[in-house]
Chain A
Amino acid sequence: MDPIRSVYENDSDMADLVRSFVAEAPNRAQLLDDLLSGGELDELQRLAHQLKGAGGGYGFTLVTDVAARLEDALKEGAAESVIKERTSTLCEVLRAVRAPEGG
């Protein structure tokens, strides 16, 4: 996946926050993977819900959209294959977010 940039990366109020979000994103991706393989679907749904709420605020609308799709699938009790696919999409997106250097 191509690198994803925050729409706020040039906003001086937000640059530091965007960097900390980006730094933390791979850990969240790992956590999503772990929760899925551990079958902890409630926690997975909570985390998807949190990422949905936060992503757009940090200028990563795609995080919000993809996380919302995972949350919906979990809420509706969708098939395992769907949940798996949407979790891995969210993980990919989280691993693709980037921030400008510096700070």
Chain B
Amino acid sequence: MNPEAPNPNRVLVVDDSEFIHELVRARLREEGLQVEHQLTGEAGLRHAIDVQPDMILLDIELPDLNGFEVCRQLKERAETRTIPVIFLTGQSDTAAKVRGLDLGAVDYVIKPFDDVELRARVRAALRTKRLQDLLQQQSFLDGLTGLWNRGYLDHRLEGELNIARRYERRLSLLLGDIDHFKRVNDSFGHLFGDYVIQRIAEALSTHARRSDIACRYGGEEFALLLPSAGIDEAALVAERLRIAVEASPFHLRGTQLQVTISFGVASTEGLDPVTNESLIARADRALYNAKEAGRNCVHICVPDQPGAICSFTDFQSQLSD
């Protein structure tokens, strides 16, 4: 999902006949779409995962994976789930139509197709996709801070883990929790508590790289997902954030209030199995340790020592050893 970018209107055609590729390309020309194609189910699936087109025209009879199986796998994966699929096939029996639609396809067009009808159906599918993206974007935003919410983190983490596995890239996660937040709320009221959360969210956004994903994970908990970053880089980001929060006290009715935050840091390095749950659990354990160690600190899950967690200072000295 990339809601900020204007719709690039990329359409992927998966069909084992080049006659159909050329025909669809010509017939969709006036729609101003970028048409890409693949000849096999495997290649189509890979293409869809890699470039995430805005819609897919999918044949059923393919030389390797059939179209039903391709559709099933597309709908199973977080990163391709919302891409509308239109079956474009010579199979005209009701059973095939029902099966295709029940697998999650939005439409079913029979070959040989009528070009005017195909264009109308493609337009309809793209219209729905745009609304769906907008709706999903709304449902994934945190109202108070404007950061992504926990639902988005779960969704995005699954996709990022797939990418990390496929390309053998690293991926790190920071979990942060405002120290003694209840005290802030109790002493200064919820409105002020909300203000603190907003300010810390800003700090998180400011320190995040463009590719990082900043989320409000819960009440006073934050998460920062760092694609392609290893544990050492993530630890540094956490420490920088911790210092930034510590260095910006709040002022209220002539009083200065110091707010601090603790972080747990984990990465996919040495993680087994690599799942949403296992990575979050790792970061959560590190965060718990940071709280136990007295708060206002960063604790790190050490990748090459299973179960080992250490402070930022120890981690730095280990690195320099």
The answer to whether A binds B is yes
Number of interface residues of B (CB under 8 A): 18
Q: Is B54 an interface residue (CB 8 A)?
A: no
Q: Nearest Cβ distance between residue A8 and chain B, in whole angstroms? A: 9
Extra contacts besides A53-B112, A57-B27 (13): CB < 8 Å = A13-B27, A21-B19, A49-B61, A50-B16, A50-B19, A50-B20, A52-B90, A53-B89, A53-B90, A53-B111, A56-B112, A58-B19, A58-B23
A–B complex contacts, Cβ < 8 Å, 9 sampled = A13-B29, A20-B22, A21-B19, A52-B111, A53-B20, A53-B111, A54-B111, A54-B112, A57-B112
A56 to B59, CA, bound (A): 16
Compute how far the CA of A58 lies from the CA of B113 in the bound complex, rounded to whole angstroms: 10
A57 and B90 within 8 A (CB): no
Q: Complex Cα distance A54/B19, Å?
A: 6
The A10-56 residues at the B interface (CB cut-off 8 A) are 13-14, 17, 20-21, 24, 46, 49-50, 52-56
Contacts of A52 in B (CB 8 A): 90, 111-112
A57 engages B29 (CB within 8 Å): no
Interface residues of B in 127-185 (CB under 8 A from A): none
Does A87 interact with chain B (Cβ within 8 Å)?
no
Neighbour of A53 across the interface among B17, B22, B26, CB < 8 A: B17
CA of A49 to CA of B91, assembled, Å: 9
Which of the listed residues B22, B26, B89 has the most CB atoms from chain A within 10 Å of its own CB? B26
A54 touches which of B20, B26, B89 (Cβ 8 Å): B20
| 9 closest residue pairs by CB, A with B | A56-B112, A53-B111, A54-B19, A53-B90, A50-B17, A57-B112, A57-B23, A52-B90, A64-B112
Residues of chain B within 8 A (CB-CB) of A55 are 112
Which of B27, B61, B111, B112 has most chain A Cβ within 10 Å?
Answer: B112
Residues of A contacting B19 with CB < 8 Å?
A: 21, 24, 50, 54, 57-58
Give chain A residues whose Cβ lies under 8 Å from the Cβ of B59: 53
Query: For B29, what are the chain A residues with a Cβ–Cβ distance below 8 Å?
Result: 13
Chain B nearest Cβ from A29, distance in angstroms: 14
Q: Which B residue sits closest to A50, measured CB to CB?
A: B17
Q: Is the CB of B26 within 8 A of A13?
A: yes
Residue of B nearest to A61 (CB): B112
- Chain B contacts for A54, CB-based, 8 A: 17, 19-20, 23, 111-112
CB distance from A41 to the nearest CB of B (A): 15
With both beta carbons as reference points, the residue of chain B lying nearest to A14 in the complex is identified as B26
Q: How far is the CB of A100 from chain B (nearest CB, A)?
A: 17
Point out the residues of chain A lying under 8 angstroms from B22, CB to CB: 17, 20
B17 and A17 within 8 A (CB): no
Closest A residue to B89 using CB positions: A53
Interface residues of B in 28-76 (CB under 8 A from A): 29, 59, 61, 63
Interface residue ranges of B5-31 to A (CB < 8 Å) = 16-17, 19-20, 22-23, 26-27, 29
B23 and A46: CB pair below 8 A? no
CA distance A50 to B111 in the complex (A): 9
User: Looking across the interface, which residue of chain B has its beta carbon closest to that of A60?
Assistant: B112
| Complex CA distance for A24 and B22, rounded to whole angstroms | 13
Nearest chain A CB to B115 CB, angstrom units: 8
45-93 of chain A: CB within 8 A of chain B? 46, 49-50, 52-58, 61, 64
